[in-house]
A and B are shown apart, each in its own frame.
Chain A
Amino acid sequence: MKLNQILPHGNVRRHIFKTTVAAAIVFAPLMLAPSPASAETRGYVISWFATATNNPDFVQNCPKAAGDLHRLKFGAAANGQLQNGNTGDRDHALVNGKPVPPLDYPDAVVKDPNQETVVGKYAYGFDLGGPAANKFIDPETHEKVDDQLWRAIGCANNFQQTPPSMPYTEGLGWNALIDSAPGWAMQITGTDLSKDGPVTVTLDRTMRHLDRDALGAVRSNDSYVLDPDPRSHNVLSGEIRDGVLTIKPAYIYIESTMPFYSQIDLKDAHMRIRSAAGGKLLGYWGGYTDWHKWAYMYSSRPANSDPVGYYRALEKLADADPDPVTGRNRLISTTWRMEAVPAFLAAADGKILAVASSAGLGGRVHALDVAENRASSEPSTGTKSAQ
């Protein structure tokens, strides 16, 4: 997939980014302004967000790992050695002949860990137009899926989690994020959100961090003021059809904070979101993301993971945006699973932009999701077993 055919690159991309920022500043009041009086806007905050996993098929996905309880090449005990650069002859990293910490220089590790990659058939996501050989099948939609990131890391211990549990490292980061850093807000605007039809999806950061309920989950019906900073402001066109919200492919950028992702940077972004009990949302975002940035989150917090193995697998399986000099792909297809809870959203001047609603989108609550939604309302510690 030649992503540079659909997305700007290099200087052109930076120019467009600057132009977008400038336009956002100039037009920010207009962008924050409510839609026409006849429209309805519902507010949400993202309450669960992590790499989409699909572990019911673990044995089919990862036959080697399924037969090897000690499959993690760079286990937790090895991480200390890795960080000190003391990895022995087999796994040491060299730069100009000098040993360096493998986690800081994963591309300089002499021996590729060659971690097992997913060979199974199913993964959640979207058809991004990638090569047929790479395709998974979505268990829900039965459509083709590009998700090379899942193929790269899906056999690692860290990702043997099923919602409501998050991949271990992401769960740690997420729980730190929601207690300390601004949240992510979503507005859905349409003429009548109880019916199918065109909608506008708007993404922003909130000024404050999210609040938790008595069970430790992100609290519904809370009120948040949106950050007027245009960098995380995204306006997306979409539609609700048969109770499922999708968007026209677009570019999504949201600032975040380490130890979670430092940003969500998704090219050719797709969404598939449905409403569940209590007005909550549940769905997937997919597209192409910078695999270096993704890998950095793991190498910066290597607990219970194999960052070098991830790095090398991602590097090999990246499937978009070739570097004009090296020819290596800089982006990788991926899918994030997300949930959102209803929230009141306000502009910095106090004007209410979106209301919390327990009603379903398109008037349809997907009964199959109720059980999962209820389970996901529990805190995500990354340690729970499958529901």
Chain B
Amino acid sequence: MRAECRRGLATVIAGILPILAAAASPSALAAPAGAAPAGAAAASARGTANSEEMSTALLMSPSQYRLTIADVFGDSIKVNGRFEPDQREQGLLAIGARTDNISDNSLESYADLASDIAAQVVDARHREELIGCQPRSENGRDDDCARVFFARVGPLLYRQPLTVDQVQAQVTAAGIAADKLHDFYGGISDTLAEMLISPRFLFRYKIMEPDPQHPGRERMNAYAKATELSYFLWNTTPDEKLLQAAASGEIQTRAGLERQVDRLISSERIQDGIRAFFADMLGFADFAAVSKDPSFFPLFVPSIKDEAQEQTLRTIVDHIVNRHGDYRDLFTTPHTFLTDDLATLYDVPLVDMSDNGQPQPWLAYTYPPGDSHAGILSEASFTTLWSPSGRTSPTVRGKALRENILCEKVPPPPGNVSFKFVEDTGNPQYRTTRARLMAHRTEPLCAGCHKLTDPIGLALEDFDAAGEYRTTENGVPIDASGELNGKQFVGAIGLGEAVHDDPAATNCVAQKAFAFETGYIPPRDDPRWREIQQRFAGSHYQVLELLRAIALSDLSYAAPAEGGALAAANH
């Protein structure tokens, strides 16, 4: 019977696939008003469709998925499994999410996750708390008890109220499965698993509706607005208060929206949103592919990969939330947090009084004056992520900084380029990376792009591919001089100051924050976008004020064509 259910699930999945693709494609945006919503139709195997217009969809990120499951079912429900790699567009996964397509493999992964989560929800440890009622018999259907469960969980998963018919569809499906399985909880589990692979759960939809305040114009549906706001600021599903604000219409008023935005920003959970945004902006998803040769870098222990990301995210959250610091100072701040592993990598003392066997604590640390480290560019999250496994690459580091921090495009290398100089680390004529790159740049085909990247990356050459400080390479003293947009400097400290003073840095973070919420690059000429930028600058570049300005701007909830350029259209 379970095999039959699995086959049934596979049939549903197969049916959803093309519709998901359509929902995520630009053509879906042009669906006429009143047309059946593409994504909802996909989930309508048991009649869960509604009649609202579906404008566009954003696939939930892995971190959003995890937080959402934890918020709906509790921390004890574990998300055991892997997610397929996301698509990065224009420097953000959040943009890629709206142009993303779900592959067969990815959908299988979601199905496996869903089955595992659903099984945990109904297991003996959780069922009493999470189902919310006791079935008359565990050996078959109990529609009343199933209704209690789906009426509570359905709105949380789909982030809007369900109609009586929609709830009944879940109850009916669970009953059929329970009868066949002779297992009430099996029926609940199978139906819940299908809800968890529904597009209505996996995708956030920008649902537009006529704006009663401005006839002839559209506005975002209140629940879609609450959802967008919650995933932007908390990186998770709307809480009860936000759904109530949507239900009452409060969120559609300026004052009501301000109340909710201020509530979300003043909550500790703003840290989740900040972490998700900067992890995306800084490309941390690419850490999954990072490895270092231990024979060259014995201090790069396996835990460093996670700890390097965590160090930077802790530094950012502390700077933004606790210190209310200027965004630009993130590139020069001496304040950070270290574990024993990181302190060893950075060759600094860190007094840890915890007992043997305890997890390494995170301890606040301030680099002393004159230290080679300051700012997030000197941290292992940058220097290791943007280096090959056995050597540094100033080109890769420079490109990452240009694209991720300054939002500047660096063209890809031509197909027929020769890397004979840069990859030959044993050439006695070119003993340093700088020397090899200089030789490489003598080829006219390469010189143009390398001018954009190498002068930046060469300033970080005193950090090896594992993020450890060094003064020599192959016995030759390292020259860490660099240049950014005409400004000369030396080392990571100088680079951090140059980025700090570059106006592209603040423009870039504002643009990426907007895109992180909406999936769109903001239209530069729109006065609402200029107002967001002005508010950010007026706050001395406090990121919380930037987030607030974006969250309160009509531009963030405008129809896609009005709100910004489609990512796909920019390619």
Interface check A55, CB cutoff 8 A? no
Is A214 touching B352 in the complex (CB atoms < 8 A)? no
* Candidates A209, A221, A346, A352; contact of B299 at CB < 8 Å: A221
* Candidates A208, A220, A222, A348; contact of B356 at CB < 8 Å: A208
Is A223 touching B352 in the complex (CB atoms < 8 A)? yes
The 8 A CB mask of A194-212 against B (1 = contact, 0 = none) is 0000000000000111011
Is B349 touching A346 in the complex (CB atoms < 8 A)? yes
Is A214 touching B299 in the complex (CB atoms < 8 A)? yes
Size bin of chain A's contact surface: 20 to 34
The 8 A CB mask of B350-387 against A (1 = contact, 0 = none) is 11111110000000000000000000000000000000
Interface check B344, CB cutoff 8 A? yes
Tell me the count of chain B residues lying within 8 A, CB to CB, of chain A: 24
Which residues in B have their C-beta under 8 angstroms from that of A149?
A: none
Interface check A217, CB cutoff 8 A? yes
Interface check A356, CB cutoff 8 A? yes
A223 to B350, CA, bound (A): 6
Given A213-B298, A214-B299, A214-B302, answer yes or no on A220-B344 (Cβ-Cβ < 8 Å).
yes
Which residues in A have their C-beta under 8 angstroms from that of B343?
A: 222-223
Q: How far is the CB of A287 from chain B (nearest CB, A)?
A: 30
Given A211-B340, A211-B344, answer yes or no on A219-B353 (Cβ-Cβ < 8 Å).
no
A214 to B291, CA, bound (A): 11
Q: How far is the CB of A164 from chain B (nearest CB, A)?
A: 14
A215 to B351, CA, bound (A): 24
Interface check B300, CB cutoff 8 A? yes
Is B300 touching A219 in the complex (CB atoms < 8 A)? no
Q: How far is the CB of B259 from chain A (nearest CB, A)?
A: 45
Which residues in B have their C-beta under 8 angstroms from that of A212?
A: 301
Which chain B residue lies CB-closest to A357? B347
Interface check B287, CB cutoff 8 A? no
Interface check A355, CB cutoff 8 A? yes
Q: How far is the CB of A316 from chain B (nearest CB, A)?
A: 41
Is B344 touching A221 in the complex (CB atoms < 8 A)? yes
Within 8 A of A (CB), among B278-305: 292, 294-295, 297-302
Is A225 touching B352 in the complex (CB atoms < 8 A)? yes
Which residues in A have their C-beta under 8 angstroms from that of B301?
A: 212-214, 219
Given A222-B340, A344-B349, answer yes or no on A214-B297 (Cβ-Cβ < 8 Å).
yes
Is B351 touching A214 in the complex (CB atoms < 8 A)? no
Interface positions of B (Cβ within 8 A of A): 292, 294-295, 297-302, 340-341, 343-345, 347-356
The 6 closest A-B pairs by CB, nearest first: A344-B349, A214-B294, A213-B298, A350-B351, A346-B351, A223-B349
Q: List 18 A-B contacts (CB under 8 A).
A: A208-B354, A209-B356, A211-B340, A212-B301, A213-B298, A213-B301, A214-B292, A214-B298, A214-B299, A214-B301, A214-B302, A215-B295, A219-B344, A221-B347, A344-B350, A346-B349, A350-B353, A352-B349
Known: A211-B340, A211-B341. 17 other contacts (CB 8 A): A180-B356, A211-B344, A212-B301, A213-B299, A214-B294, A215-B298, A219-B344, A220-B299, A221-B347, A222-B343, A223-B344, A223-B349, A223-B351, A225-B351, A344-B348, A346-B351, A377-B298
